[in-house]
């Protein structure tokens, strides 16, 4: 009996105390993270040569726009969302190129996902077909987005769709990319996927000043075929984001695109050099976190 009591004091009691402290720490951490104070978070994830953007609304709705080229997104997500959280409300795929969707396969493996949205362009690659199979297995809502649709993500924040305005099944992936704007109060962020200049010009003709935003994610990782003068003038961003890998084989961002930014005195931030780039907004002020 003495030895049992001694064992309890020496071993079991400290373990119970440690477990209690860990539990309290997790509860405090969770309470801190859940107290969003009416703020929207948008993070351009450092996933190499590709796109992946994490959005968390003021009410906690979580969305990932594009999944990057590989499992790198799994490394970055815990940096911007609670480590204990294993649910994501929505995935949005702007186009079915490998550098935009591959990480979604890993997300669907590790997180419970409620809905998936796409533009409607398709690929017959084995990896894309695997993604489609994963979505079906997840039993998630799976829909196409079209111009005029608005995704209410809570707390007054929403995502509005400018393109496509038609069935893009037969289009190549880049011209068929989703063009969207994240809006929360006075904060606006343009997300243009891999869209090309002719589509940009079409959207500018239709929407003009509605496109004006503080942040613009450069089209197609800074390719010379995207982010033309018309779009830059319409959006008139305070800063643009380049989501591209270091020393990538495509040469992104192209010097022609950077020259267009320079001529308009628009600064840019590059995930390759900055790492994951995170902003928060209370609907009035947009600040880098």
Overall pTM surpassing 0.75 (yes/no): yes
Give the pLDDT confidence score for residue 211 in this predicted structure: 98
What 3-state class would DSSP assign to 53?
Answer: strand
pLDDT of 37 higher than 90: no
pLDDT band per the 50, 70, 90 thresholds, residue 124: confident
Closest CA to 76 of 98, 51, 47: 47
Which is nearest to 52 in space by CA: 39, 41, 64, 60?
A: 64
pLDDT digits (tens, 9 = 90+) for 238-279: 999 999 999 999 999 999 999 999 999 999 999 999 999 999
More confident residue, 43 or 125: 43
Q: What is the side-by-side strand order in the sheet with 53-56?
A: 141-144, 112-118, 87-93, 62-65, 53-56, 40-44, 277-281, 286-288
The answer to whether residue 31 scores a pLDDT higher than 50 is no
Q: Residue 154 and residue 142: Cα distance in Å, rounded?
A: 20
Please, are residues 106 and 73 in contact by the beta-carbon 8 Å criterion? Answer: yes
For residue 109, is pLDDT > 80? Answer: yes
Q: Name the more confident of 230 and 16.
A: 230
HSE at residue 46, side-chain half, CA atoms within 13 A, is: 15
Give the side-chain half-sphere CA count within 13 A for 114: 8
Compute CA distances 221 → 158, 217, 228, 278, whole Å.
Answer: 24, 8, 13, 18
pLDDT of 56 > 60? The answer is: yes
**Strand extents, DSSP E, the chain:** 40-44, 53-56, 62-65, 87-93, 112-118, 141-144, 150-154, 157-163, 179-184, 187-191, 215-217, 239-242, 268-270, 277-281, 286-288
pLDDT digits (tens, 9 = 90+) for 90-101: 999 999 999 999
């Amino acid at each position: 009996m003495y030895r049992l009591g001694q064992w309890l004091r020496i071993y079991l009691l400290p373990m119970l105390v440690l477990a209690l402290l860990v539990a309290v720490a997790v509860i405090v951490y969770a309470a801190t993270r859940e107290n969003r104070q009416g703020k929207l978070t948008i993070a351009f994830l450092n996933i190499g040569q590709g796109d992946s953007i994490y959005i968390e609304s003021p009410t906690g709705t979580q969305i990932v726009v594009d999944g990057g080229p590989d499992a790198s997104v799994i490394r970055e997500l815990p940096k911007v969302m609670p480590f204990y959280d294993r649910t994501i409300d929505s995935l949005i795929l702007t186009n079915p190129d490998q550098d935009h969707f591959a990480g979604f396969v890993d997300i669907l493996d590790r997180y419970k996902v409620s809905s998936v949205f796409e533009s409607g362009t398709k690929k017959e690659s084995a990896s894309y077909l695997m993604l489609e199979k994963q979505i079906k297995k997840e039993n998630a809502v799976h829909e196409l987005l079209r111009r005029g649709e608005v995704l209410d993500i809570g707390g007054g924040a929403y995502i509005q769709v400018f393109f496509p305005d038609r069935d893009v099944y037969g289009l190549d992936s880049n011209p068929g990319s989703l063009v969207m704007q994240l809006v929360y109060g006075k904060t606006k962020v343009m997300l243009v996927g891999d869209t090309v200049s002719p589509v940009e010009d079409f959207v500018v003709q239709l929407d003009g000043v509605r496109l004006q935003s503080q942040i613009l994610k450069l089209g197609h990782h800074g390719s010379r075929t995207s982010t033309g003068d018309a779009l830059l003038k319409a959006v008139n961003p305070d800063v643009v984001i380049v989501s591209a890998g270091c020393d990538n084989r495509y040469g992104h961002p192209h010097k022609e695109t950077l020259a267009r930014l320079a001529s308009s005195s628009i600064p840019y931030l590059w995930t390759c050099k900055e790492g994951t780039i995170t902003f928060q907004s209370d609907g009035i002020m947009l600040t880098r976190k």
